[in-house]
Amino acid sequence: MSGEVKVDARSERWREHRKKVRSEIVDAAFRAIDARGPEVSVREIAEEAGTAKPKIYRHFTDKSDLFQAIGERLRDMLWAGIYPVINLATDSASDVIRRSVEQYVYLVDEHPNVVRFVLQGRFPDQAEATMRAVNEGREITLAMAEMFNNELREMDLDRDAMELAAFAMFGTAASATDWWLGPSPESARRMPRDKFIAHLTTIMLGAIIGTTALLDIRIDPDLPIHKAVPR
């Protein structure tokens, strides 16, 4: 029995070590992409991590695995920014959207090359990895749609319509981000950050109001979500 405990302890230590090293490599990937642009190679990421390229593949099965981990990190950073600044019980719908957009744009402004890297899929022949990484970001909009749905759960909203709106909002944000950042890493922002936040907030709120209108629901965006719909 004690032998099994020792084996389990060693396995747990190895899992924790592998998790730590993977996280450190993703940290290095962020630094390398931030510094060198979205065309960065795995070799350059390995150099930034202070290791050899083969070691990368001891902790990531392939480029796709590494690429997805970068997308997951962005998703987690965005959610960590959004979650503390919104309260669906007290914030108006417009405030929830504005604060979420603010956190998103702040993240884009901090790591523009990483965002380009994920949205544009710069690793060759990594279409599947691109979609998997992009899906990490799409999860945020789906989660937001589900939170709205939960606040209005007694209305039995059309889930397909809400999911369609979430996908459309994600696609809009991705395209708008690509436009705002400009065609290359050296490009200047197309408009000041605060102005971009205001425009993107209006566009996102329009998608929500338009979708709910199609469902014969009229939302007052200046009220908390559970009070925003006339009963």
Q: Domain map of the chain by residue range?
A: 1-60, 62-227
Specify the pLDDT at position 125: 47
Domains 1-60 and 62-227 agree in fold: no
62-227 topology per CATH: Tetracycline Repressor; domain 2 (1.10.357)
Q: Are 137 and 68 in contact (CB under 8 A)?
A: no
Q: What is the DSSP string of 29-48?
A: HHHHHHHH-TT--HHHHHHH
Q: Are 142 and 166 in contact (CB under 8 A)?
A: yes
Q: Are 100 and 78 in contact (CB under 8 A)?
A: no
Q: Which residues pair with 224 in a beta bridge?
A: 92
How far apart CA 42 and CA 32 sit, in angstroms, is: 10
Written as six digits, the tokens of 111 are: 């790591």
* Statement: 1-60 belongs to CATH 1.10.10: yes
How far apart CA 209 and CA 221 sit, in angstroms, is: 8
Cβ neighbours of 69 (radius 10 Å): 19
Ranges of H-type helices in the chain = 2-36, 42-49, 53-59, 63-82, 93-110, 112-120, 127-151, 159-181, 193-214
Specify the pLDDT at position 172: 86
How far apart CA 213 and CA 169 sit, in angstroms, is: 16
Q: Which residues pair with 92 in a beta bridge?
A: 224
Closest to 134 measured CA to CA, from 93, 177, 91, 191: 177
Specify the pLDDT at position 230: 56
Specify the pLDDT at position 5: 55
Specify the pLDDT at position 122: 53
Residue numbers of the chain with a pLDDT score lower than 50: 124-125, 130
How far apart CA 37 and CA 123 sit, in angstroms, is: 12
